[in-house]
Structure 1
């Protein structure tokens, strides 16, 4: 039992003691436990008062929410404490049997033991009950705070303020902005001319010179250094050309950014800025990074090289497109500077509307211009889109959708701002720009990771269209979803709330399934599966081949080990993950009955597969015949067996057919088999001579066993021949066709040498009307005597004109 749980239990028991409902033995409470629970009660009561008053600012509510979240997390962890001990006590109480009914009694020893166990069980359940109640209260307070903040943001978003097109607001806005800029300038001028600043600069002169020198070198020489680094990296191979180019482009951003950081640090160290300037100076590196990043994205998207262009542009519009991207970055910086200035100065809403309207309009015009350039490019290059790769086509579809949405927002946002809905316009136009930048960054990083894969695998730029690149794209898109939600107004607290709910998991009976438990299950099962495959490979390749077990038995051992290993891996993984599936036993039992009826064929094949592995009537590599199919067994799986026929086609046979049907196994146990070669000779041939020749041929073949010796059978007298058969036992029945072919060749050769005739069927053809053949030979017409005579065409004969006679020996006769 943890100190926290003990403290909660003692606090609750103390509260019960105060109300007079507990025995004196439970009254001992520590000061620490009382203080902790009292702090929680004070925090919860204060939160309820703040929520009821609804006067606190959103920032104050966020702070209060963080405090409540920490309490809720501790209560969540405490809800599952002592679970094993509680189960043990419940099992002990259940072992004592059912409690006696009213008016009945049980032995005193059992009654005392039951009372003691029930008292321990109540004590252990107290912290869980307290934690459950406190968790529910904290969760409810957090939900109420989130609701208040969301309602405030919605009201602010839909609030209509002064129109920036009203000329009455222009002079006041100009004066306010000029006064703010003048105050910053005057503060800086006064600090520069002060003796304190001069003394500070003098004291920190070495550091200032160092920072300024680093900044100057990085800002002026950063780009050449980046290209020099790229030239050095290209020596490691052309397959990584995309990787080296990406690294060089990143260095072109990182080196100037470090220089700007050094420059800002030097300015801050000098102390020449006033309080307002110092506050704004803290944001300068971030603004510089924003501008550099947009410039980098523009160069990556619109590189001007066909092989590297993620978004091809119309010829002659490359520089204009990059300029539009840079202008968007400057607009975002100016908008953020306006927001930061409002945090420093008190600026009326009319001033904000007038100052923000030009930025909104400029951003909208840039988006419209980018859409127009893209439309021209699509009109000109529509014929090339069919040749794009799958990834490029998908990226183009996403960018086309984003471009159309930006085109719509480019019209809507300035209109909303002109009507006074400046907050709504800002909530549309700037997230749209940020979304486009995020999508562009995803495309760039997907291509970079594809190039890395191509470099490591040696595929080069072809890896950009590989399956790995597609999977990386999906992964990056999933990781970008939280960023996309934050861009469009989601709070960080909303994201953390979703993450905490995700980590909390869901409850099934008494079992809570969380991502941690699932990850533990996956890791343990994967490790067990890998270990099983490793042991199978070792047995198959190293140990079993050195034994006297036949190949079929070796395959059965490795397959059975695989089934056992996977089953044990699943059981161990469930146990390590802490999943208690006993509550699902009834549901699983009922479900298994339904599945059994629906999948009885599959279950039958599965059981048959296990029987095949145990009894092994058929093994891998056997030559079998089943159901009219003949071939070699190539694989025995859980459900079916794969047979390769002599036509080199695979036939999948259910395992149940091999168990319940008739199977002929030609190579079971050994490869010895019999070959029968039939042969016929003409009547009048000496049979004993034929027998001697055939016996000699059979014994001479190297595949024929001499023990038992081959023999010749005189089968009988056929219609046209004397029928003989060679019957011999082969060393390997798999060569039966080759042996028959070899023997037939040798028989034909020996019979020709010995003058033995092999009879064959002959037919006599009787022509009923031979005069019809002579009528077609008439003399040609005299008019055509100069040309060679055409061949006579015999009249067409029908079936009745032909008569077959199988009794003759050879010649056609036309003397009917």
Structure 2
């Protein structure tokens, strides 16, 4: 059922795309170029004079943007027909360099070239018009940006001039006086009073609801959120408290909306009063949003993990400063609307808004200091990128909080406001990102039940990165970017970039990714089906099955890449020369990787080594666990993984103990003491070997009398095992049984022996007899030598007085 729904969705998307394409093609064919020429001429005149207002330029720019979109669609007109004609021309081949071309071929070539020119004519005209519209839009954007920069650098009156203060106060009082006069005049009007009496019940209802929601609703929501989060430290309670806490913004803002509805319904406020009432919801939203963000960033309770490493006193201070910023934003919104409505000059505006700017800068400075304190405390325990970035951000914010009021006091009031208020909005947006990141973490904990591992998990990090990317346009708008600037960037992005003679757009890239992903998934599904269903039913061994499945994977991925490139319409033939030049350098730099890749293909085809084989290569021995494109993974008997490049397996010497079958030979060396019955030893070893279940009796085990060693007579048991992987167990069991059988038969397994010869044996006899001729050195038995070593001291040795010592003649040792 799900698969059918997917197919239906794909069909709908396909048909919609075709319909849109056909509609665009129809519109592209009916372009009124005369009207476009008039618009372009009017735009060029306005741009040349630069006398139009910003609003007029915005309207003109929007008109040019619509035309540019039309030309953009027309650029792809007749694309299929043009491609077909080009294919026919290519089929004719190039003109002969010598001699004349056949008349029929020449006529056909001329006809096709004429057809191609006719088809390309509207496309080329659309290309020219598109370029003209794009250039005009760029010039309008330049004019608007220059005007914006001029406003920021405009030097106006200083708000510290006492001469301007009475004028500003008079303007403010005059506005509210006129607002009161409007209300009084409307009240004295009988018709307006009668209308007011009719809507009075509704007005009272909305006023009552507004006061309840504004004054008490936020408090109730805050208490409910605190109760939910103060009980247990669980993801469910945090999420429930978070959802409820959003009501601290929604409920009072709804109250302000009700207040505005009540005021507008009376029709008694006049134009000025209605303007103020309409500003209340937006101003209230900024106030309560700042307060809510301050509460989330500096929470009252420490039941959950704190966003900032601050104590309770510092968090309370942070909430107060956030509330101050919200109050400034709440007041500045009506003042700006009054300025636009009343037409106040720069003198009045700067004097009235300068105190708010100073208060906002002071609160901003204290918040930056709190953030800096958190960054320093975090850096003491763990130095990371976040703490460094927060330190830099805090210092920049402190600099802005100081520089903004100074610029405004000098007279660069627009520049001062452009520094302080965007910084406040940016901090609010950053605080929102922190809150949303915490929301992602708690959702991850809710689904995984792993609170300890959330910091090391990849999913929350990727989600946070996505949030930052989404917030970039918002930051751009905060810092003065116009909506048209963002739409222009988006248009450029959709247009793509040129690579050779091919233009690659995001649509092409998305097509490539989707088709390649489908091909990749299909390849993996085929591989899985081969491994589990098809190949086990064939006569191939495990290594052959793995080779077939791996080869299918390589072929499938390569085919998916080729099909994806072709489907996306990417013509990379123009890059062939560049690729050929780069291939030389890449060949030298990646020759080892290429060698290992080719070796991996050889391993899969020839299969000298397969998964599960017991091999020995380069001093490493173990089982083959995986054969990839570049290397082979071997699991040693120490349970460690050794990565061996495939080139070593192809060009080096490899011992494969289990290739083809598991039969292998075992050699067990045995030594017996001199004087033992060798025939008896041979018989016992033969019986021990034949008694092993793993030993094959055809061919039978062979007992080799290897020779006479220095300490023993050496024998070897040479037998063939049916499973060579059990060689250690068989060898251990044989050694046990040999020891037991030799002990029963009285056969000694000797150890290493050494005979000691003394050069001066007379030193061992007492000095009672007269000195005689120096006897010839006689060998001592082992007991006599040990007794001599225990009784003899260095002083008793002859020649010890003149510094000479005895010299052993066996191994060169003195008494080993």
Q: Normalising TM by the smaller chain, what interval?
A: 0.7 to 0.9
The CA deviation string for residues 464-494 of structure 1, in whole angstroms up to 9 with x for no partner, is: 5644333333332222222212111111111
Aligned counterpart, 2:308:
311
Contact 1:678-1:725 at 8 Å conserved across structures: yes
Q: Closer, same or farther in 2 for the Cα pair 1:467/1:179, shift >3 Å?
A: same
**Post-superposition offset of 1:630:** 2.5
Q: Closer, same or farther in 2 for the Cα pair 1:396/1:333, shift >3 Å?
A: farther
Q: What TM-score do you get using the length of structure 1 for normalisation? A: 0.86
- Give 5+ residue unaligned stretches, structure 2: 1-20, 767-789
**Post-superposition offset of 1:237:** 8.6
The CA deviation string for residues 759-779 of structure 1, in whole angstroms up to 9 with x for no partner, is: 33312335668999999xxxx
State the distance in 2 between where 1:237 and 1:347 align: 54
**Post-superposition offset of 1:662:** 2.4
**Post-superposition offset of 1:670:** 1.0
Aligned counterpart, 1:338:
335
Contact 2:228-2:241 at 8 Å conserved across structures: no
Aligned counterpart, 1:264:
260
1:475 matched to 2:480? The reply is no
**Post-superposition offset of 1:745:** 0.9
1:608 to 592, 596, 599: 599
Secondary structure in 1 matching 2:714: strand
Aligned counterpart, 2:683:
692
Contact 2:404-2:416 at 8 Å conserved across structures: yes
1:278 matched to 2:274? The reply is yes
Aligned counterpart, 2:52:
56
State the distance in 2 between where 1:755 and 1:799 align: 46
The residue correspondences of 1:410-809 to structure 2 (distance < 5 A) are 410-460=401-451, 463-464=454-455, 466-766=457-757, 801=806, 803=808, 805=810
State the distance in 1 between where 2:185 and 2:93 align: 90
The residue correspondences of 1:37-52 to structure 2 (distance < 5 A) are 37-52=33-48
State the distance in 2 between where 1:140 and 1:526 align: 39
State the distance in 1 between where 2:421 and 2:467 align: 22
Q: What is the RMSD of the two structures over their aligned residues, measured on CA atoms?
A: 3.3
Aligned counterpart, 1:786:
none
Contact 1:710-1:729 at 8 Å conserved across structures: yes
Contact 1:230-1:244 at 8 Å conserved across structures: no
**Post-superposition offset of 1:170:** 1.8
The residue correspondences of 1:181-330 to structure 2 (distance < 5 A) are 181-204=176-199, 208=203, 211-212=206-207, 214-216=209-211, 218-219=213-214, 220-221=216-217, 223-224=219-220, 228=224, 238-306=234-302, 307-313=304-310, 315-330=312-327
Number of residue pairs matched by the alignment = 763
2:399 to 389, 396, 408: 408
Q: Closer, same or farther in 2 for the Cα pair 1:590/1:369, shift >3 Å?
A: closer
**Post-superposition offset of 1:111:** 3.1
Aligned counterpart, 2:107:
112
State the distance in 2 between where 1:675 and 1:640 align: 31
State the distance in 2 between where 1:184 and 1:771 align: 139
Report which stretch shifted further, 167-176 or 222-231. Answer: 222-231
State the distance in 1 between where 2:476 and 2:419 align: 13
Q: Closer, same or farther in 2 for the Cα pair 1:419/1:709, shift >3 Å?
A: same
1:361 matched to 2:358? The reply is yes
Aligned counterpart, 1:87:
83
State the distance in 2 between where 1:179 and 1:398 align: 48
1:178 to 173, 178, 193: 173
State the distance in 2 between where 1:305 and 1:765 align: 88
Aligned counterpart, 1:17:
none
**Post-superposition offset of 1:202:** 4.9
Aligned counterpart, 2:5:
none
**Post-superposition offset of 1:87:** 2.6
State the distance in 2 between where 1:286 and 1:649 align: 65
Contact 1:635-1:641 at 8 Å conserved across structures: yes
State the distance in 1 between where 2:100 and 2:202 align: 90
Q: What TM-score do you get using the length of structure 2 for normalisation? A: 0.86
State the distance in 2 between where 1:185 and 1:795 align: 127
**Post-superposition offset of 1:444:** 1.6
State the distance in 2 between where 1:441 and 1:667 align: 63
**Post-superposition offset of 1:438:** 1.7
1:72 matched to 2:68? The reply is yes
**Post-superposition offset of 1:315:** 4.9
State the distance in 2 between where 1:228 and 1:120 align: 76
Q: Closer, same or farther in 2 for the Cα pair 1:383/1:582, shift >3 Å?
A: closer
1:140 to 135, 142, 165: 135
Q: Closer, same or farther in 2 for the Cα pair 1:214/1:569, shift >3 Å?
A: farther
State the distance in 1 between where 2:436 and 2:452 align: 14
State the distance in 2 between where 1:255 and 1:138 align: 48
Aligned counterpart, 2:380:
386
Contact 1:552-1:620 at 8 Å conserved across structures: yes
Aligned counterpart, 2:9:
none
State the distance in 2 between where 1:251 and 1:461 align: 30
**Post-superposition offset of 1:799:** 11
Q: Closer, same or farther in 2 for the Cα pair 1:464/1:178, shift >3 Å?
A: farther
Contact 1:48-1:141 at 8 Å conserved across structures: yes
Contact 1:764-1:804 at 8 Å conserved across structures: no
